Amino acid sequence: MYSSKITGLGHYVPENVVTNDDLAQWMDTNDEWIQERTGIKERRWIDPKTGDTTAVMGAKAAKIAIERANLTKDDIDFIIFATLSPDMYFPGGGVQIQDLLEMPTIGALDVRNQCSGFIYSLSIADQFIKTGMYKNILVIGSENHSGGLEKSTRGRGVTVIFGDGAGAAVLSRSEEEGRGILSSHLHSEGKHAKELALIGPSTERWVPEIIKDNDPEDVSYFPHMNGQFVFKHAVVRFSEAIVEGLQANGLNKEDIDMLIPHQANLRIAQFIQKKFGLADNKVYNNIMRYGNTTAASIIIALTEAWEEGKIKENDLVVLAAFGSGFTWGSVVIRW
């Protein structure tokens, strides 16, 4: 049985910065209101003139991760691409990465687990490597939210939260015992699916039907979130996933060197930090700069924390996420 470890990390965010004051030009909101509820000061939104898309951003992040892993594109055996905002309804972004990076005809898998997408993707990659099927797997989380948000007062509860960006990791085979990914833990509760969802366009509500109805009050094609309901579940499930990961490895909360939570809301992250009694230098947050980038959020934060020297060899790193689905999970890593 092999183990798997992260050998390369990279991220990419659009240059276009959208501040809270910028949003106040389009909707009834202000910087104080947004920061008080979310902790967000600004986010990055794609400028269409740049040619950035979900797949293009993913490819840019992937190139950095592959180079940092001291590998070439030809060394990658498999691609796992997590997103809720693919460039096309189908096919998914994984095959676009294979094309954009001019890779051999390796397999590409798309993961649609929204905020938990990177956790699920990393877990899948870990299993492929541990069973000996693959040696080097490229795992990407990338999101283009800005093109599908309702940029008006009616949609402000969702629109102010989300940003665009991408992150990538190379997961490689290792024979070191007790290092790399120690365990992963995945959960879902579909009865709450519509509390955080985009109902249409979909196979239940195709575009022709939306056009035919032509109802200006219809918001089914914009993201919907029951914010308080999601918050209450998030703080519980985040905690459960972290505890589950620690217990599975005979560890305690005092053993955590770095917790990287999904960047959904700074208030959630602060609640979890306080509950586990973690010092500020043991939790990494960047939501204030990027907003919620869904499947990209953990990998962007992980990359930045590593780049800043806040994750060192032999550190215990815990990744945790909760989001639409509902889905949630954790990954425990000995760096």
Tokens at 277, concatenated:
């009694």
Residue 212 makes CB contacts below 8 A (sequence gap 6+) with: none
214 catalytically annotated? no
**Closest listed residue to residue 332, CA positions, set 275, 251, 234, 238:** 251
Tally helices (H) and strands (E) across the chain.
11, 13
Q: Rounded to 5 degrees, what angle do the CA atoms 83, 74, 76 make?
A: 45
Helix (H) or strand (E) holding 227: helix 227-248
20 catalytically annotated? no
Annotate 97-120 with DSSP letters as a single string: HHHHTT--S-EEEEE--GGGHHHH
φ, ψ of residue 125 in degrees (nearest 5): -60, -40
Tokens 């599908």, located at residue = 148
Maximum alpha-carbon separation in the chain: 60
187 catalytically annotated? no
Residue 24 to residue 19: CA distance in whole angstroms: 9
Q: Rounded to the nearest 10 degrees, what angle do helices 227-248 and 266-276 cross at?
A: 40
- The catalytic residue among 115, 145, 185, 265 is 115
Residue 191 gets which letter from DSSP? G
**Range list of H helices, the chain:** 20-23, 31-38, 54-68, 93-100, 117-130, 156-159, 207-213, 227-248, 266-276, 287-290, 297-307
- The catalytic residue among 136, 262, 265, 286 is 262
312 SS3 class: coil
Tokens 């120690």, located at residue = 182
**Active-site residues: which are they?**
115, 262, 292
